[in-house]
Amino acid sequence: MTPEQQAAIDRVTEDIAAARDAKLYEEAADEWRAVVTPEQSRDNLERVRTRLGRVQSRALHTGTEKDTTAGPLKGHSLVAIYQTTFERGTGMETFTLLERDGRWLLAGYTVTSDALK
């Protein structure tokens, strides 16, 4: 993972932890905003914060970089999957980033955890 990619993930995780959901949504890639409304984005992030709590530790599980000309994630993308320990459980966080005009933008964020069921 490049320093720029890591910086984007760090920025996103800081925004999530600080509940800066509107900022995160506004700065996300168009692909993020095309699939969720601001309210859905906020509700999903709040659900993670409420049920799992703050991140205690995060370890990169896999990272896959692609350059594609077709599909929903056209262009240069990164999917980074982390094994994450939260205050109230563990889970897998998946960050999808797209490079747009030399910047890495959030295009997707999901958490898979039994605590969210």
Question: If residue 95 lies in a helix (H) or strand (E), which one and from where to where?
Answer: strand 89-100
pLDDT at residue 73 in the model? 76
Give the residue among 96, 78, 84 at the shortest CA–CA distance from 31.
96
- Read off the pLDDT of residues 46-86 as tens digits, 9 standing for 90 and up: 999 999 999 999 999 999 999 887 777 788 999 999 999 99
Full set of structural domains in the chain with CATH? 3-116 (3.10.450)
pLDDT at residue 72 in the model? 72
What pTM, to 2 d.p., does this model score? 0.92
